[in-house]
Amino acid sequence: MLKTLANLKVIFLGTSSAIPTSERGLSSIALVREGEILLFDAGEGTQRSFFKANLGFNKKMKIFISHLHGDHCVGLLGLLQTMSMLERTLPLSVYGPRGLLGFVKNNMKSLKCELSFPLNIKIVAEGTFLEENEYVVRACKGKHFITNYAYALEEKDRPGVFEPNNAIRLGIPKIKWSNLQKDETVTVKGKKIKPEQVIGPKRRGRKIVISGDTRPTLKLKHFLEGSDVAILDSTYFDEHKEKAKEHMHMTASEAMELSSKAGVKKVVLTHFSSRYRDVATILASISKKHINTIAATDFMEINIPYPDELTEKKKE
């Protein structure tokens, strides 16, 4: 089946760790892929950020909770309530670690919140826990006080590029081109022609990893390999590296080092401690070796092109 290109962008809805500031809300990151919202964490204030970012409450959507600390999941309650008030009808799945079901159920009961749509709470295990037509989502345990999952969105390969010149050279009539594009073998003048004779190699989809709260680990490095974009816990900078150990987070340097070892193409640091008032300046002073690293800000949007789109652009 011929696949069209899928738009994919990330919108940062909250980029502060633990305590919000006037500029940074609590953790929440939206990947918007072809109109579907994949929301990673929902800290307090997420529903308000949804309005500000014009995300819509009745869209095709899935939510992934990294871990059950309040600053990563309390916003789920208001989000579910507001979706219901706005009469959401589409089903919603929320994925996360053990304890998520109790957290949501107890609160829906305490707060007398009646949902207008089917809600499925799904407890995550490591590995590929979700497979859709065009992508999978995988989980990897981090190293934090409680179970934390890093998540990876991995798109499946797209078919290779159809080469009309090859088809013409092989004398294939145009009426049969679409069969080849659908990965079917065709017969031309009694001769079998396979799709790979006119279609280039499969093209890799995109991979985006979001770390949640974690120390750097070898396991996470492996999980990061092949990422086009990694959005990483960078609660601290070097001056507080002892605190990073104590509170089970990464420093910006640790996150960059890990991504560099894993060959990540673009790194976006987030989850900054509220003590840092000018993250961009601090980062600029240390990231010279890591030119593909930026610091997230609330409502920053980043389009994520396909790897081969980048290659094409470089060729131009």
Shortest Å, Cβ 74 to a second copy = 5
CA distance 168 to 22: 62
Q: Which is nearer to a second copy, 97 or 205 (CB)?
A: 97
Residues 237 and 280: beta-carbon distance below 8 Å: no
Token readout for 263 is 């060959």
Token readout for 276 is 């840092």
Residues 107 and 79: beta-carbon distance below 8 Å: no
Shortest Å, Cβ 12 to a second copy = 16
Question: Which backbone phi and psi does 199 adopt, to 5 degrees?
Answer: -120, 135
Token readout for 14 is 């909250």
Residues 6+ positions from 281 with CB-CB distance below 8 Å: none
Strand-strand pairing, 92-96 and 229-233: unpaired
The residue among 187, 192, 190 whose CA lies nearest residue 175 is 187
Which residue ranges make up the site for a second copy (CB under 8 A)? 18-22, 25-26, 44-45, 47-48, 51-52, 68-71, 73-75, 77-78, 81-82, 85-86, 99, 102-103, 106-107, 110-113, 145-146
Q: Which is nearer to a second copy, 30 or 304 (CB)?
A: 30
Shortest Å, Cβ 81 to a second copy = 5
Question: Which backbone phi and psi does 219 adopt, to 5 degrees?
Answer: -60, -40
Q: Which is nearer to a second copy, 99 or 226 (CB)?
A: 99
Shortest Å, Cβ 255 to a second copy = 22
Q: Which is nearer to a second copy, 47 or 251 (CB)?
A: 47
Shortest Å, Cβ 117 to a second copy = 16
Residues 257 and 267: beta-carbon distance below 8 Å: no
Residue among 41, 71, 228, 298 flagged as catalytic: 71
Q: Which is nearer to a second copy, 85 or 90 (CB)?
A: 85
Q: Which residue has the tokens 């953790």?
A: 27
Q: Which is nearer to a second copy, 53 or 304 (CB)?
A: 53
Shortest Å, Cβ 47 to a second copy = 7
Is 71 noted as a catalytic residue in this protein?
A: yes
DSSP 98-164: TTHHHHHHHHHHHTT---SS-EEEEE--SEEEEE-SSEEEEEEE--SSS--EEEEEEEPPBP--B-H
Q: Which residues are the active-site residues?
A: 71
